[in-house]
Amino acid sequence: MVDHGRVIRRHELSDQEWELLAPLIPRAASGRPRVADRQVINGMVYKIRTGIS
């Protein structure tokens, strides 16, 4: 599957899925900067879909 010139793995969110989900994630008000939200969500989806412990 190719999305805007980059390969998307089965466990990653497509750009369309991310556009729906991104507005629901709250912004950090203060403190240490977070890792890219999309990368974290993709990690959660990978864990759920593959069933790793």
Chunk the chain into consecutive blocks of 10 residues (it has 53) and report each block's average pLDDT, rounded to whole numbers. Answer: 57 87 87 85 87 79
C-alpha pair distances (Å), 44 with each of 4, 39, 41, 47, 50? 23, 9, 5, 5, 10
* Residue 6: per-residue pLDDT: 61
- Element (DSSP H or E) covering residue 20: helix 15-21
CA dihedral 25, 30, 35, 36 (to 10 degrees): 40
pTM for the whole structure: 0.65
Asked if residue 14 lies in contact with residue 8, where contact means CB atoms within 8 angstroms, the answer is: yes
For residues 24 and 10, what is the distance between their CA atoms, to the nearest angstrom? 22
